[in-house]
A and B are shown apart, each in its own frame.
Chain A
Amino acid sequence: MGKIRWSGWVLAVLLFCGFILPLFLRGDPREPVAAPFSKPSWADRTQAPAMAFSIPPGEEGKSFSWTWEAPRGLSVTGEVDFSGVPSKAALVWETPSGAKWVLADLSGQARFTLDLDARDMAFRASLGLSPFDESLQGLFDAHGTIRVRIESDVPVERSSLLVRVPGERWGIFGTDQRGRDVFRLFLVGMRVSLLVGILAVLVSTLIGLTAGLVGGYVGGAADMVLMRTVDVLLSVPLLPILMVLAALWGKGLWQLILILGLFSWMGTARTVRSVALSFREAP
């Protein structure tokens, strides 16, 4: 048995990454997982990792320690139920240096649904940030302990509030402009590329081989027709054909493979034909 060459190993690794690894991924790779353009998690330790806390109903709220740069993202979602209608209630954020922010005024209603997000222009405006200034210096003004709690004059019955900091570092390759995991996208993208590449080449080789053999071996009118077809296909503009076909067949992986295969067999056919010719004429 011959030695497998290094290119064989590369192909094996690619196939493994493209077809086997994605099987172990859970969830949709298109879902954002961290802040946009997060760095890889091994790269910059001064950036915050992704984190999430629920805020318990009690007076104490939730405290957590903060030892990173101010992040760009923050969201608070969930519901609060008071045991009565509070005349004065608020979701309060206490910063490490002691400043106190009211994230939401909860007075006057027994039940609140919150959906705050630092990406909203209104949120940035109310923090006094310009629309272009994204880091939340006001809420994360120093390293230390941050406390988030519900302040009210009526007891809180139930709270499902969740504070989420999407973080500035994530995964092996970080995230893209929409906060999606680049590594996952890479794996899924590789699978598509490999699938299209391998199958399209298979289709085009099959067609090219058949056409070339028929042309070279049978010859005559069949050869003439086949070779002129090759000439025409090499000369007709591909882009409008693709657009017409896409409109007729719709778009999808299989259509793509078929179209690529159907329009790239001409070179193979020519080569195979010349080889077939030389064999036929060989003594």
Chain B
Amino acid sequence: MTVKGYWTRRLGGAACVVAIVLVANFFLFRLMPGDPVSTVLDPRFSPEAKAKLEALYGLDRPLGVQFFIYLRRMTTFDFGLSFATQRPVLDEILERLPNTLALLVPAYLLSVLLGTVLGVLAARRRGRVAEKAVLAAGAVSFSFPSFFVQMVLLLLFAYVFPVFPLRGSLSIPPPQGAWPLLADRAWHLALPVLSLVLLGFGGWALTVRNLVVKVMGEDFMVLARAKGIGQRRLFWGHALRAVLPPLLTLFLLSLPGVVSGAVLTETVFSLHGVGRFLLESVLGQDYPAAGAAFYLLTLITVGSNLLADFLVQLVDPRIRTGGEGS
């Protein structure tokens, strides 16, 4: 099979996935128990007022019509007004996105970096104290529940030793001037980022260590060693190159999970981000908001899947384009 043929099929498959998820999203939220109007529980709200609200949300129209409006909105990226805020959903998401990125990008990069360094270290020091320490630290980091770690961090570093702020992304009142404001933001993000790194590096350290150890034992490494290639070059040249593709895939595939994982962090530290928005729009039965948020998340997922495949091929052309058929 040609490379071109492979990518055509791959892209077609991705488009199918997006289409299926798009349809599923529409019906899923409407299948979910309750609806945006019936969960308004206020005895001062009469059935007529509720009917007005339903009409305002466009939920009084036939389901087919609603579906077509939904499809049009999703394909044109005009997601309509959120039920809860009555603002365009896209505005709501774009307003929160910088906060979430400012939290997740440094946190994710740092934890991958730290995890990789520690994982490699452990693999190179097999059987020694360093490896045991990394394994133990990794296991602890990997298995602690996030809200607990974050609450403890908050208690320690914002309350007992008030080094960091307790909440939010800004001091109140905020400082004047661009640089102080930037510094203030960074100071507010320090603790959430730190907590995410502490929680995130463990999984990476364990994975990297396992991959490297496995690769070191493979035939071609044994062969290379037999050829008399030096330890150092063996490791940096061959082993790392072999673990890079799976690491890259893992990195890209775990991206979507990171976004939804931001929910708890944003709650504990009172951050105004996309994670909370996602959760609140589902719980609040805000169909346009939830539909748009998950649609975008699907695009990220599918996109990073494709990117992973692409990059892996780039790094390691030996990997066959096959899999399907051949």
The answer on direct contact between A and B (beta carbons under 8 Å) is yes
- Chain A positions near chain B (C-beta within 8 angstroms): 219-220, 223-224, 227-228, 231-232, 234-237, 239-241, 243-244, 247, 277, 281
Cα of A224 to Cα of B323 in the assembled complex, Å: 9
Do A237 and B17 have beta carbons less than 8 Å apart? no
Do A220 and B32 have beta carbons less than 8 Å apart? no
Counting contact residues on chain B (CB < 8 A from A), the size range is 20 to 34
Q: Are A235 and B32 CB-contacts (below 8 A) given A223-B323, A240-B282, A277-B323?
A: no
- Chain B positions near chain A (C-beta within 8 angstroms): 13-14, 16-18, 20-21, 24-25, 28-29, 31-33, 253, 256, 279, 282, 290, 294, 297-298, 301-302, 305, 320, 323-326
Count A/B pairs, Cβ under 8 Å.
Answer: 69
Do A228 and B13 have beta carbons less than 8 Å apart? yes
Collect the chain B residues with CB atoms within 8 Å of residue A277's CB: 323
Cα of A223 to Cα of B326 in the assembled complex, Å: 12
Do A234 and B301 have beta carbons less than 8 Å apart? yes
| 9 extra interface residue pairs, beta carbon distance < 8 Å, beyond A220-B324, A247-B32 | A219-B326, A228-B13, A231-B302, A231-B305, A232-B21, A236-B24, A236-B28, A239-B279, A243-B33
Collect the chain A residues with CB atoms within 8 Å of residue B253's CB: 234
Cα of A281 to Cα of B322 in the assembled complex, Å: 11
Cα of A165 to Cα of B29 in the assembled complex, Å: 52
Cα of A186 to Cα of B136 in the assembled complex, Å: 23
CB of A185, distance to nearest CB on chain B (Å): 16
CB of B157, distance to nearest CB on chain A (Å): 24
Collect the chain B residues with CB atoms within 8 Å of residue A243's CB: 32-33, 282
Cα of A235 to Cα of B305 in the assembled complex, Å: 10
Collect the chain A residues with CB atoms within 8 Å of residue B282's CB: 237, 239-240, 243
Do B324 and A223 have beta carbons less than 8 Å apart? yes
Cα of A277 to Cα of B32 in the assembled complex, Å: 39
Cα of A234 to Cα of B260 in the assembled complex, Å: 12
Which of A219, A224, A228, A237 is most buried by chain B, counting CB atoms within 10 A of its CB?
A237
